[in-house]
Amino acid sequence: MCGIVGIIGKSAKEVVLDGLANLEYRGYDSAGIYLNDLKGRGYLTKATGRIKNLRAKMTQDEDGLVGIGHTRWATHGKPTVANAHPQFDETNRFYMVHNGVIENYQELKAKYLSDVNFQSDTDTEVIVQLISKVVNDKKVDTFTALKMVLAEVKGSYAILLVDNTIPDHIFIAKNKSPLMLGLGKDFNVIASDALSVLDQTKTFIDLADGQVGDITKANYVLENLAGEKIQAKPYEVNIDPNAASKDTYEFYMLKEICEQPSVLRHLAQYYLDEEGKPKVDQEIVDALIRADRLYIFAAGTSYHAGLVGKVLFEKFANIPTEVGLASEAGYHFPMMSKKPLFIFLSQSGETADSRVVLQEAIKRNIPTLTLTNVLGSTLAREASYSMSLEAGPEIAVASTKAYTAQVVVEAILAKAMGERTGDDAAKNFALKENLALAAEGVEQVIFSKEKIEQLAKEYLVLSRNAFYIGRGIDYPLALEAALKLKEVSYIQTEGFAAAELKHGTISLIEKNTPVIGLINDPITADLMRGNIEEVVSRGASVITIASKKLAKPEDDIILPDIDYYLTPLVSVVAAQLFAYYASKAKGLDVDKPRNLAKSVTVE
């Protein structure tokens, strides 16, 4: 989603452009930069498409000691140069970049700005025009005007603002969209993601909602909207910048798929002791055990990991578990049990849809636990408890290793709960051994990637649509596999409970429709074979992915045997590779599928 980078006190152009390039993975459709050299010269450049288009539009001598830049993922108005940020006011004095959505921008525009000539369709321009108006009409300074305007704004924002009459300041503000201040020696940086400026500093302050700041090269002042000063404690970020590099891989997605064996082994070490007993914060286990029902909320791939989590919690922790789409639950809150506990699954920890549910849970005093890959993220900070997914930075828009990490952490929690309550299934669940087997299994799948590439080319690339079908634990896996394939290859794919096809959807099967059958569930394996026959006899081109003990010699991909409940950890990797190779063979930008963003901070 949109990205922000700003710097003050240092040659700004390259820092901003490189910082924006580091955020490219989040998905965007236009970009822009404003630089001021503090000698009266300002440079505004905006371009549609990639950062390289923006760079190409800039001349060599354009630089500044202050710079703010933005990658935009269109919400209000098309991805055009006029709608790209920075947005500016009528007098060309104020320049602003903004992530988020201003919900009442139409009202503000109608109420205060009917005489203003707008250049864009954006909600952001309304804010910058309004700040300009307040400064002129009320004769207040820019920082005061920013606070006055934001007091009337409803919505989410991370904002950087430069006033070119005092360009040695960057004014900042945050509400519901991430923003952090990075502290340097005689310079300061501001970014929506620390990853973008790790080459500048490792010392950061995360702004909280409702905070504003006045940043100069050697100083910073943070306040709330009422003007009260805020003391914030800087912390050190210890992410290895190399972890975010592409290495020798052509795309991040393949790199991240191939990192999964290490993620599985690392999680086993991190969360299990020598004997395989979970090492989980006792407070978290206590809170989980106190609940009479678990409710998992998430979006997209994380939601699919939640569906697997339901099976794990019900089997090993013996607790009823509901899984909900955060975007639906936020405004249609489900009926609760007496002692619910909410679990939020989120790679980014910033998903706005999940945050709405979290806020509602906080209001209702429901205990909450966030499982996320970004520990300082909003969902981690605001929940009662949080746990790290330990997957390392995930850059490709399509989530891969975060999904496997989510499933593993859910399995660990389920075992921890079940062991505490004396559940036999949990005690006998050989998680450590199975994670080792899963890591080896994933390696074997990765080893057979040429075969998957060849099958993807033969069956998928020329097709407009496809199906994944499965039963039991393969059903949530089919949903995830289908999402992966459609999002990166643009092949319309549906994930189906195999037996449901005959209740309607089988009418879509025609000659050569690709159907990928997942066969990991021993209870329904024979029925699953029958469901595959049904589509074969209607002309489908079938690819089968089966666990070794259920496999037949003619199956296409045979997976090593591991505990049934953990089979998604291995079979998902085959699905990820099918998606990757289908996308690559179609010549698409695998890491940045069209219209998508990595961290979805709008509802």
> Annotated catalytic residue: which of 133, 147, 484, 598?
598
Q: Shortest distance, CB of residue 159 to ligand F6R, whole angstroms?
A: 22
Q: Which residues pair with 206 in a beta bridge?
A: 180
258 is catalytic: no
Is the CB of 97 or the CB of 479 nearer to ligand F6R? Answer: 479
Does 601 participate in binding ligand F6R (rule CB under 6 A)?
no
Query: Are the beta carbons of 47 and 57 closer than 8 angstroms?
Result: yes
Token pair in block for residue 466:
């496809």
Using CB under 6 A, which of the segments 194-202, 266-274, 343-351, 380-388 binds ligand F6R? Answer: 343-351
Using CB under 6 A, which of the segments 58-66, 69-77, 92-100, 340-348 binds ligand F6R? Answer: 340-348
Token pair in block for residue 519:
């066969």
Is the CB of 297 or the CB of 316 nearer to ligand F6R? Answer: 297
Please list the alpha-helical segments (H only) found in 230-377.
Answer: 252-258, 260-271, 282-290, 300-312, 326-329, 352-363
Is the CB of 386 or the CB of 399 nearer to ligand F6R? Answer: 399
Interface residue with ligand F6R among 35, 485, 600, 602 (CB under 6 A) is 600
Q: Shortest distance, CB of residue 599 to ligand F6R, whole angstroms?
A: 6
- Strands 541-547 and 170-175, sheet pairing: unpaired
Does 347 participate in binding ligand F6R (rule CB under 6 A)?
yes
Distance CA 482, CA 301 (A): 10
Alpha carbon distances (Å) from 138 to 69, 94, 141: 29, 16, 9
Hey, what amino acid is at 262?
A: S
Name the residue whose CB lies closest to ligand F6R: 300
Window 398 to 417, contacts with ligand F6R (CB under 6 A): 398-399
Using CB under 6 A, which of the segments 50-58, 192-200, 345-353, 361-369 binds ligand F6R? Answer: 345-353
Query: Are the beta carbons of 603 and 353 closer than 8 angstroms?
Result: yes
Distance CA 69, CA 46 (A): 9
Is the CB of 30 or the CB of 301 nearer to ligand F6R? Answer: 301
Hey, what amino acid is at 362?
A: I
Interface residue with ligand F6R among 36, 71, 129, 351 (CB under 6 A) is 351
Interface residue with ligand F6R among 89, 487, 494, 521 (CB under 6 A) is 487
Number of shown-chain residues binding ligand F6R (CB under 6 A): 15
Is the CB of 191 or the CB of 357 nearer to ligand F6R? Answer: 357
Is the CB of 38 or the CB of 375 nearer to ligand F6R? Answer: 375
Q: Shortest distance, CB of residue 160 to ligand F6R, whole angstroms?
A: 23
Window 34 to 93, contacts with ligand F6R (CB under 6 A): none
- Strands 30-36 and 42-48, sheet pairing: antiparallel
Q: Shortest distance, CB of residue 126 to ligand F6R, whole angstroms?
A: 27
Query: Are the beta carbons of 65 and 170 closer than 8 angstroms?
Result: no
Of 57, 82, 68, whose CA–CA distance to 16 is shortest? 68
Window 283 to 322, contacts with ligand F6R (CB under 6 A): 299-302
Does 489 participate in binding ligand F6R (rule CB under 6 A)?
no
Query: Are the beta carbons of 102 and 123 closer than 8 angstroms?
Result: yes
Is the CB of 83 or the CB of 99 nearer to ligand F6R? Answer: 99
DSSP H or E stretch at residue 412: helix 401-420
Residues 6+ apart with CB under 8 A from 507: none
Does 22 participate in binding ligand F6R (rule CB under 6 A)?
no
Is the CB of 188 or the CB of 302 nearer to ligand F6R? Answer: 302
Does 370 participate in binding ligand F6R (rule CB under 6 A)?
no
Does 346 participate in binding ligand F6R (rule CB under 6 A)?
yes
Distance CA 51, CA 582 (A): 26
Does 386 participate in binding ligand F6R (rule CB under 6 A)?
no
Please report how many Cα atoms fall inside a 13 Å half-sphere around the Cα of residue 415, on the Cβ side: 24
202 is catalytic: no
Does 368 participate in binding ligand F6R (rule CB under 6 A)?
no
* Cα dihedral 118, 119, 121, 126 sign: negative
Hey, what amino acid is at 147?
A: K
Residues 6+ apart with CB under 8 A from 145: 131, 134, 135, 138
Does 156 participate in binding ligand F6R (rule CB under 6 A)?
no
Of 417, 425, 426, whose CA–CA distance to 284 is shortest? 417
Does 124 participate in binding ligand F6R (rule CB under 6 A)?
no
Does 164 participate in binding ligand F6R (rule CB under 6 A)?
no
Is the CB of 201 or the CB of 399 nearer to ligand F6R? Answer: 399
Longest dimension (CA), the chain: 81
Measure the CA angle with vertex 272, ends 271 and 273; round to 5°: 130
Does 577 participate in binding ligand F6R (rule CB under 6 A)?
no
What residues make contact with ligand F6R under the rule CB under 6 A? 299-302, 346-348, 351, 354, 398-399, 483, 487, 599-600
Q: Give catalytic residues, as residue numbers.
A: 2, 598
